[in-house]
Amino acid sequence: MTGTGNLPTKFGLLLYPGFEVLDVFGPLEALNVISRKDFLEISPVFIENVSLSIIAEKLEPVSPGKPGMVGSSLAQKIIPEYTLENAPNLDVLLVPGGMGSSDVPDVVIQWLQNIFPNLQYLITVCTGADLAARAGLLNGLRATTNKMAWKSITSKQTSHKTYWVADARWVKGSTKVWTTSGVSAGTDGFIAWIEEVYGADLATNACTWMEYIRDSKPECDPFSKGLHDVPPTET
């Protein structure tokens, strides 16, 4: 896609020990597809000059296996390119969830607060919404998160200024903030974001390339059975 103008091209990925693999690589697969030239085989356009910055607290390999919980040697390690101190300017930040999200230190939360004003979009997957809530970035917004962690996250003090939507695969809380439910919902939510930002044809063609049948209904989450919305208790 030439002449992208103000369309986002600078993406960032925040990693921490214990992140969920599909939270990251589902959305990144869709991003990879729409940003490479061979996508032109099935699409009249692709997104040019896309960059991805992998960011972590330290320049050390980051594993999705939370320490003490990995029962095998399967846990992969991802090497970050930037720390919180030298991360480049971003248009879009993807924040995954995972078993390690509850252990993310305050320095990372402070970093989220600092960079948020300069972002065009913040997209959280799964319990990544908890990090955004801790940073106060969901105050006054509608949001969702992983349904297995629903009660623990929505009951936190940092969640009391957010309207938590139970029956939702993803929620567009504002023009800037998107949150998705657990794990695989991140791919559906990210493709919905692609559709809104870059156009329906690009999103549809990405699914064709991926041989992926997306769930295009944000308000229907089969994993929310027995759960209820949690309105804000503070303003």
Q: How far is CA 55 from the centre of its chain?
A: 14
Query: Contact, 94 vs 123, CB < 8 A?
Result: yes
| Share above pLDDT 90 across residues of the chain, in percent, rounded to a whole number | 86
What are the tokens at 74? 């399967």
Going from N- to C-terminal start, the domains of the chain cover: 10-67+74-224
Beta strands in the chain (DSSP E): 10-14, 51-55, 92-95, 121-124, 142-143, 163-164, 170-172, 177-180
- The model's pLDDT over 157-186, given as tens digits with 9 standing for 90+, comes to 999 999 999 999 999 999 999 999 999 999
Question: Confidence class of residue 3 from pLDDT cuts 50, 70 and 90?
Answer: very low
Model confidence, pTM: 0.94
Q: What is the pLDDT of residue 195?
A: 97
What does CATH list as the number for 10-67+74-224?
Answer: 3.40.50.880
Which of 31, 52, 22 minimizes the C-alpha distance to 190? 31
pLDDT reading at 67 higher than 70:
no
pLDDT reading at 72 higher than 70:
no
